[in-house]
Each structure stands twice: as C-alpha cells, then as structure tokens.
Amino acid sequence: MNDPGREANQRELVSRWVHDHGRSVLGYLVGLVRDRSAAEDLLQDVFCRAWQARHRYVDTGRERAYLLRIADRLACDRARRPRKVMPASDEGIRPLEPVDGERSPWETLLAEEARAQLTSALNMLNEPQRRVLLLRYYGDLGFSEIAEILGAPLNTVLSHNHRALQALRRLLVEKNGS
C-alpha cells in the first residue's frame, strides 16, 4: 500500500539531504564515535529521524544544523547505552581518508601521519570539547547555535572551545613548530 508519489518525494528529499549534508554529518559522527560502521549506522538513523520529523522542522535554511542536532542526540544516546568500551585507535579514523585511488608512497606516509595526528588530537579532548569543535567545523555554526544544540550556556561552550584549542595548540602547533 505504498504511495508511489510519496515514496518518490521521500527519495528525492533524502537524496538532496544526503548530497548536501551527508559528508559533513558523517564526518561529525565519525569524529564523535570514532567507529566508521557505527557512524554510518547512525547516519542512516539521522536521515530517517529527520525525514520522520520533517513536519516539525521550520525551514530557516539551516538544514545542516538541524541534521547535526539529530546526529548529536543519537550519538549521545548511543554513548549512554552500555556497550563495550573501545579506545580510540587509528582504525576509527582510517576510513576518513579520501578514497582517491592510487597514492604515492609519500602521500600515503603523509596521510598516515595526518591520521595519527587527528587521532591524538581527538584523544586529547574530552567529549564536550570534541562536540564543540566538530560542530563548529562540520556545521559551520556560530557559538550561540552550538550552545543551543548542546543545550549548554554560551559561556560554557566558549570555555570548551578555548580549552580545546589550547590543548590542540600544544599538540599541533608547538610540536610542529619545534
């Protein structure tokens, strides 16, 4: 009893969302849960939830913020559920590499190093700090919007951002500088 028109409409909308925001939402989820397969599973959930709740979404041109908010909720729910603790490893980040066919050994080496650095960077941050930085990067959001998504006061978000960047500065800038 599926309505073909409705199904086509659904498919079109989902396609547009995936095309416009899939990569960013997936990046956010991978950065947060650091497990590619779990992130992909969550990504499907994000689009399903978004489509099911599409009537509640007020179109303000901030679809990505809307999707990232759902992604954040789902990732937090997943984190609350009891599960096997998995320390961050290169395996979680490895698939983040762009798949660009053949690479030279030098490029592969650079990518390996970048991946290791990203893993180290994410490991240095606590969860709220990771959420703030990843939302800022993938959502291109202002701090007030991030505060709204996280349900935290603006000053708390600014503080997380500041502390996270200080930690990253020690790791990424000073280390590279030396």
Q: Determine the size of the site formed for another protein (CB under 8 A).
A: 55
Q: Cβ 77 to another protein, closest distance in Å?
A: 17
Nearest Cα to 64, choosing from 18, 98, 95? 18
Alpha-carbon span 70 to 141, nearest angstrom: 15
Applying CB under 8 A, which of residues 5, 52, 81, 87 lies at the interface with another protein? 52
Restricted to residues 5-24, the positions that interact with another protein (CB under 8 A) are 7, 10-11, 14-15, 18-19, 22-23
DSSP state of 96: G
Q: Cβ 144 to another protein, closest distance in Å?
A: 7
Q: Cβ 105 to another protein, closest distance in Å?
A: 17
Spatial contact of 136 and 145, defined as CB atoms under 8 Å apart: no
3-state secondary structure of 81: coil
Name which of 86 and 113 has its Cβ closer to another protein: 113
- Residue 159 contacts another protein per CB under 8 A: yes
Name which of 73 and 171 has its Cβ closer to another protein: 171
User: Which stretch, 37-45, 58-66, 68-76, 81-89, contacts another protein (CB under 8 A)?
Assistant: 37-45
Per residue, what are the HEC states of 17-47? HHHHHHHHHHHHHHHHHCCHHHHHHHHHHHH
Torsion of the alpha carbons at 65, 160, 128 and 97, rounded to the nearest 10: 70
Per residue, what are the HEC states of 106-170? HHHHHHHHHHHHHHHHHHHCCHHHHHHHHHHHHHCCCHHHHHHHHCCCHHHHHHHHHHHHHHHHH
Alpha-carbon span 168 to 107, nearest angstrom: 24
**One symbol per residue from 69 to 88: x for binding another protein (CB under 8 A), - otherwise; what is it?**
--------------------
The site for another protein (CB under 8 A) is made up of 1-2, 7, 10-11, 14-15, 18-19, 22-23, 26-27, 30-31, 36, 40, 43-45, 47-48, 51-52, 93, 95-99, 111, 114-115, 117-118, 121, 133, 136-138, 140, 142-144, 158-159, 161-162, 165-166, 168-169, 172-173, 176
